[in-house]
Structure 1
């Protein structure tokens, strides 16, 4: 909490604890701009609410503020709070907790001797009780001082150590030991210790040490090991070390006294430049040669992507701490490191750290830094399902980049804005923004950026039923992603290809691309991408008729989305689960799942998802009521859902969804003896299908029209029957590969029924005979696509 430097504020402590306790990520990403007291009040309420009935252990290390400790004690759970402090804390008597005071005294003679023996470089010398007692007294019996001083035993005898410690005069015990061992070190080791104070509280490795010393990693490792043997560095794990808070304060004082400000700034700049280079190398292995990556690459190579990401996992906390002390460092260098760290946060879903970085960038108030971080914050908001917030953030970033005449940045922000508009169902505007981005990315050096925009535009055009264009865009995108060595980009392009194949009815092709995507997401350790691939693979099983595998896969995918706090992924998984449950016959469960997804889409303002959920919820609700009553007479609620779905599809320009909704409305109206209205709806649907070239859907509209003509034709049943027979004959002759295989049988059967004669009093027969489009009918778009 104190750490020998500026104390951790109560607000930051609450945010850190909420992050560790798994609080909703939007509460960690979007930091309020209200007063500090208001923020602490709100965060305290969230903290206590989150811990209600949840016993946890909270460690508050090096605390100094009793009021802060009281705020962090959980009020509504049987938790254990361990507080360490340099001096006794006076907590108020009305604190709702049982308080136990455990003073930590200085080590006695036996304890001190044991610690000295453990810390000694060589403890084989003769026993000297008198000198050991002198050392204990000079070190105040403090473990840190004894450990640091004791590390010199071996080369020094106990008597020599006691004499050398006494030579430092009347100083604090720990400072006495630190001065002794600091003076013992070589000049490179002392210089490294001083400059390690620039690294903050987090652990570091050889790469950071090498940058601070302007040397290679072999030499840096040697000096780190020397400082660790001297007790001046704590060994964390592997080749990573950390400064104790007290040692860091000593090192900072030595840095201020013994080095010029120019030397300090140069060391800090080398550190940031080196880490920007390394982090860029890692992210380049993931995203390829995008314009967000710097063009500075050194000799640092990683044997595998997995090794590279592990390195960034280890270093990310250190990098964040380093960025807090970047005064005077070249802003271009800071921007490169900041961008790489933001991209890492998005990949890992670490929105707590992204929130920290956003605050840091705003406090520095450097235009390019703020734009870069705001862009990533907008993307994170989209991932959380905060689509309105994402849209407004990204739209403002586009304007900022345009004002700065930064075309590459404006294009990236336009791409992200287009994706967000797509997720909201605003397909026309999404396509326009993405095309605008492509126009700005025509230069060869922006080819990898262009690849990302291409596969985003392909997803929009797929949902607009422009399958041939989507395939062409994805083919080009994959070529550019491969040329730019973007593993992550290839994953998303294959993911979009998989969905396109599903729309074309090619399940094997879809599963092949989706498995490639899943593998590539695994290589880049993108848990969010993996969850989306699992959703679509389960959907492929549903399209193929393997319902039990689909249900199991979708439930597993929903869990993964929930773990990733991906509200949109969870909503779509539940939506497909509702359809899969319909196939099992569990209509009650199906309706509940579809209604859950409808609520989630409504909350995040995804109009496309909302319309789809309304459409299928209406179908299943209608069928559920019909199964109970034996007719379509009680379909009022289902009809209203379909009317709303049609209005949504119409508003966002999705002809495919509107046309199929017209057919479902026609079924409801026909089942309620409103055959003229149903016939008109079939004609509207046929026109919509023809408008985007969907022959499969048009076949269904023409067939349902034929089933209605005997009941709704102006000339009566005989003329209606004759026209229906003629149109069915034409439909039967006009076979094509995209036709629903069920429809040929229905055409033949209904022609036979018409030949036997239609009895008006029996009502419309297609529903009773099961000759209406089911869920599977609209899975495939019957649009011509040339490979």
Structure 2
């Protein structure tokens, strides 16, 4: 193959040289500046022949290069890491996933099982058939996981789109099996789906199905390998199965699972010869120095299980003075001590016991402490907390336990216990004082509280690190987190472990720790989600607070629950939780907490269009923040109050509130708050017809969001910038901005923002004359707004839908859309929005010949627009009145309102409307 490719390259190079020579011949033939020797001179004197030969050579080279591109070496695929983005993942997301654990050196030859698996996979792929689920079952310690991981590495080239590993904890002591909905959230996150895009809700069945559908869609048409380790049942992992036929799923379980279209691969204990060979290889001793008969007895005593054989070999390697007979006798004694266990368990547990009793007393205590750890894996910092030792000592202990094969090493300097070893460690720990368990959990929770305080210092906007840490936190050693990126990375890695610790603490009635840990995790879970998981955590914290009678803690948990429920668009539940939080804060006299809860419930009321309640809440919160001297709280309430005032068309008051908020944010150096206020100011200036200032504010906001790497709010700024461009006649620029925003929203899973972009694009299609496309997009946006409960978005979509339907002759549908839209905007108190709908309605009536009714709508719109100082709708209403008068009474009466409209349009910079009216006036003058 290499020689053929070399010949092809030489041929291409030669052809290139010939082409260059022919170009020279043709050039000289035309210019007659020089003469080539011998036969080349003859060819030079015939330039048309040179052109013909040049064309043939060029065509031949093109065909050769195409042939080379089509006939790549068999079995080779392009590097998946440089594949073009197919649009299924967000920009910058890894297209190829690699999460398989490291292949172990202790893997013993299981050629029969491996060949069966490879043959099954190869046959399915070659016949273009769907790959069946392969279930690897067998007793504990037999090496199911090791086999699955090794097979995954062997088969990795056949599945270039990724290899994923998930531990389902089906038989893990102290831990409940992983629920399918949780596993799906982890898989979707690993596949590059932003947490905001992962479906959330209270109906577990519905959310599981929604996440499963997204997971199947994510892997559609891909070739990926998924290892589901330690499954408890088919029901547990069935939602995790990819829908595509090109994905391979390997499931390990201790019991036979009923799986549809399964291939069962039983992994039995090792054959005696293989068990002996594995022992010799891992013992580090020459085979001829070991008594083979004794070795056969030794491996038979541990049931020929790879886990037990590995531990025994490690014991012998660490004791050069022992003979295999010494080791055998010690194992017999251990088995006698564990005689109450079942045969299979006793075989493995005896090897554990032998290894454990060989440890120094302080190492034994350290190993017992690992049995109390609720998490899935740990590092030296957690080990230090569990063992109440220094970080240096913890590292020594973990390294020694790894050398003794009592823990497994995982990437990132982390460690994990095999399930059977976890059982064994927990059993040893349970033999001691029951307070040891409580104290170990307290120590590790204290460590996490101290570390979370540092992490929150990087991610919380006002710099607060969450609740104060409990006693003893100052003596805890924590990892360095010197940046926001480092803090978020640590939080993402430790999230499952912290949540497991909270569950364990709750089970031990350590309510104060539950409350503190939930509050400390709240800032991260607010932005990272999944929000249904966060809601469950805060409900647990609230129940813990009720147990202790701590009203302040209850109020804090309810506030966080209300915020998360708002994110989930569960507005009634959010309002209920936040109102109760206000009551609890009042009862304990916590004015800062009450202000925070009022600010949050005010946001919910704004979102549900209860503007009076929203304004009252923000005004009360603002007063409390001012009494307390809380500048950041003042800025937040002012900004949210400005949004309520803008929604009710009180534009001057909105600008006043937002400008004050902007000043405070800049004073505090809060770039995020500064960008939010700039963006909302831009919206208000746009409504007031100050388009240049509106565009400037949106650009300033966009630049800050880009600096903060906040793509969601970049998209919001882009949408608002697109609106300004559309209103000033730059339809191409508007489309570019809305399209870019739509891409961001789609990638990040922001349904509300996506609906906004689709609506704006529908308006552009209507303005461009493509009414059918406009109707399709506007109906899509309308459905999304209704699903989200966004009344403002629903009204805006209905208004535009009425215009588009009128253009295609659907008079009744257009009128009904306008009627519904007016009803909603009146309910919202949005008088500028009402004026816009009435202007659209008046235009429809004017075009249909009902001039009196149309003029009536325009007059209503004019009164509203002038009242709230909305110049664009004022100009539109004046134009509408003028055009109606023109058709009824002629130009004389119409000229006044039309010229007044021109004046407003010209001041706004809406040149297209100015030109239309002036053409009308000129036609009359002519």
Contact kept, 8 Å, 1:379 with 1:390, in 2: the verdict is yes
Cα distance change of structure 1 residues 333 and 491 upon mapping to structure 2, 3 Å threshold: farther
> Is 1:143 paired with 2:306?
yes
Tell me the distance in 2 between the aligned counterparts of 1:127 and 1:137: 20
Tell me the distance in 2 between the aligned counterparts of 1:251 and 1:483: 55
How far apart are residue 241 of structure 1 and its match?
Answer: 1.6
Cα distance change of structure 1 residues 256 and 513 upon mapping to structure 2, 3 Å threshold: same
Larger Rg: 2
3-state secondary structure, aligned to 1:455: helix
Q: Which residue in 1 is equivalent to 2:171?
A: 3
CA RMSD of aligned residues (A): 4.2
Q: Which residue in 2 is equivalent to 1:656?
A: 832
> Is 1:344 paired with 2:500?
no
Tell me the distance in 2 between the aligned counterparts of 1:583 and 1:749: 19
Tell me the distance in 2 between the aligned counterparts of 1:532 and 1:726: 39
Q: Which residue in 1 is equivalent to 2:451?
A: 278
Match of 1:589 among 773, 784, 790: 773
Match of 1:518 among 706, 721, 726: 706
Cα distance change of structure 1 residues 441 and 312 upon mapping to structure 2, 3 Å threshold: same
Q: Which residue in 1 is equivalent to 2:645?
A: 461
Tell me the distance in 2 between the aligned counterparts of 1:599 and 1:746: 35
Contact kept, 8 Å, 2:200 with 2:530, in 1: the verdict is no
> Is 1:575 paired with 2:741?
no
How far apart are residue 562 of structure 1 and its match?
Answer: 4.5
> Is 1:16 paired with 2:214?
no
Q: For residues 710-721 of structure 1, what are the structure 2 equivalents within 5 Å? A: 710=886, 717=889
> Is 1:709 paired with 2:903?
no
3-state secondary structure, aligned to 2:270: coil
Match of 1:448 among 632, 650, 669: 632
> Is 1:694 paired with 2:856?
no
Which structure carries more relative contact order (alpha carbon 8 Å, separation 6+)? 1
Cα distance change of structure 1 residues 60 and 510 upon mapping to structure 2, 3 Å threshold: closer
Tell me the distance in 1 between the aligned counterparts of 2:350 and 2:819: 81
Q: Which residue in 2 is equivalent to 1:507?
A: 695
Tell me the distance in 2 between the aligned counterparts of 1:69 and 1:430: 44
Contact kept, 8 Å, 1:614 with 1:645, in 2: the verdict is yes
Q: Which residue in 2 is equivalent to 1:128?
A: 290
Q: Which residue in 1 is equivalent to 2:812?
A: 636
Cα distance change of structure 1 residues 25 and 722 upon mapping to structure 2, 3 Å threshold: closer
Contact kept, 8 Å, 1:498 with 1:514, in 2: the verdict is no
Contact kept, 8 Å, 1:706 with 1:727, in 2: the verdict is yes
> Is 1:226 paired with 2:403?
no
3-state secondary structure, aligned to 2:504: coil
Q: Which moved more, 1:611-620 or 1:13-22?
A: 13-22
Tell me the distance in 1 between the aligned counterparts of 2:869 and 2:784: 32
How far apart are residue 62 of structure 1 and its match?
Answer: 4.1
Q: Which moved more, 1:72-81 or 1:701-710?
A: 72-81
How far apart are residue 28 of structure 1 and its match?
Answer: 6.9
Match of 2:267 among 104, 114, 124: 104
3-state secondary structure, aligned to 1:418: helix
How far apart are residue 318 of structure 1 and its match?
Answer: 0.6
Q: For residues 234-245 of structure 1, what are the structure 2 equivalents within 5 Å? A: 234-245=408-419
How far apart are residue 464 of structure 1 and its match?
Answer: 3.4
Match of 2:857 among 681, 690, 699: 681
Cα distance change of structure 1 residues 493 and 139 upon mapping to structure 2, 3 Å threshold: farther
Q: Which residue in 1 is equivalent to 2:423?
A: 249
Q: For 1:267-320, what per-residue CA distance to the aligned partner results, in whole angstroms no more than 9, with x for missing partners? A: 322322321232233233222236682245967642221111111111001111
Tell me the distance in 2 between the aligned counterparts of 1:550 and 1:241: 53
Cα distance change of structure 1 residues 324 and 733 upon mapping to structure 2, 3 Å threshold: closer
Q: Tell me the TM-score normalised to structure 2 length.
A: 0.68
Q: Which moved more, 1:21-30 or 1:491-500?
A: 21-30
3-state secondary structure, aligned to 1:662: helix
Tell me the distance in 2 between the aligned counterparts of 1:223 and 1:594: 64
Tell me the distance in 2 between the aligned counterparts of 1:342 and 1:260: 31
Tell me the distance in 1 between the aligned counterparts of 2:501 and 2:494: 10
Cα distance change of structure 1 residues 146 and 315 upon mapping to structure 2, 3 Å threshold: same
> Is 1:431 paired with 2:431?
no
Q: Which residue in 2 is equivalent to 1:311?
A: 490
Q: For 1:564-610, what per-residue CA distance to the aligned partner results, in whole angstroms no more than 9, with x for missing partners? A: 44332222222122123334443211111111111221233211111
Tell me the distance in 2 between the aligned counterparts of 1:334 and 1:445: 31
How far apart are residue 198 of structure 1 and its match?
Answer: 3.0
Q: Tell me the TM-score normalised to structure 1 length.
A: 0.79
Tell me the distance in 2 between the aligned counterparts of 1:99 and 1:373: 46
Cα distance change of structure 1 residues 692 and 635 upon mapping to structure 2, 3 Å threshold: same
> Is 1:354 paired with 2:534?
yes
Contact kept, 8 Å, 1:491 with 1:520, in 2: the verdict is no
Cα distance change of structure 1 residues 710 and 541 upon mapping to structure 2, 3 Å threshold: closer
Q: Which residue in 1 is equivalent to 2:504?
A: 325
Q: For 1:461-509, what per-residue CA distance to the aligned partner results, in whole angstroms no more than 9, with x for missing partners? A: 3333444444444444455556666565455445545545655423244
3-state secondary structure, aligned to 1:442: helix
Tell me the distance in 1 between the aligned counterparts of 2:404 and 2:826: 73
3-state secondary structure, aligned to 1:616: helix
3-state secondary structure, aligned to 2:372: helix
Alignment length (residue pairs): 721
Tell me the distance in 1 between the aligned counterparts of 2:259 and 2:699: 57
Show structure 1 runs of 5+ residues with no match.
Answer: 33-38, 626-633, 757-787
Cα distance change of structure 1 residues 410 and 116 upon mapping to structure 2, 3 Å threshold: farther
Contact kept, 8 Å, 2:665 with 2:673, in 1: the verdict is yes
> Is 1:182 paired with 2:366?
no
Tell me the distance in 1 between the aligned counterparts of 2:392 and 2:500: 24
Contact kept, 8 Å, 1:286 with 1:486, in 2: the verdict is no
Cα distance change of structure 1 residues 46 and 693 upon mapping to structure 2, 3 Å threshold: closer
Tell me the distance in 2 between the aligned counterparts of 1:181 and 1:486: 56
Q: For residues 23-42 of structure 1, what are the structure 2 equivalents within 5 Å? A: 29-31=200-202
Q: For 1:661-720, what per-residue CA distance to the aligned partner results, in whole angstroms no more than 9, with x for missing partners? A: 2222221222233333333333322221222222343233234333333556xxxx37xx
How far apart are residue 162 of structure 1 and its match?
Answer: 3.9
Show structure 2 runs of 5+ residues with no match.
Answer: 1-168, 339-345
How far apart are residue 613 of structure 1 and its match?
Answer: 0.6
Cα distance change of structure 1 residues 500 and 141 upon mapping to structure 2, 3 Å threshold: farther
Tell me the distance in 1 between the aligned counterparts of 2:855 and 2:233: 76
> Is 1:419 paired with 2:619?
no
> Is 1:207 paired with 2:386?
no
Cα distance change of structure 1 residues 13 and 334 upon mapping to structure 2, 3 Å threshold: closer
Cα distance change of structure 1 residues 107 and 500 upon mapping to structure 2, 3 Å threshold: farther
How far apart are residue 156 of structure 1 and its match?
Answer: 1.0
Contact kept, 8 Å, 2:408 with 2:418, in 1: the verdict is yes
Cα distance change of structure 1 residues 614 and 669 upon mapping to structure 2, 3 Å threshold: same
Q: Which moved more, 1:604-613 or 1:134-143?
A: 134-143
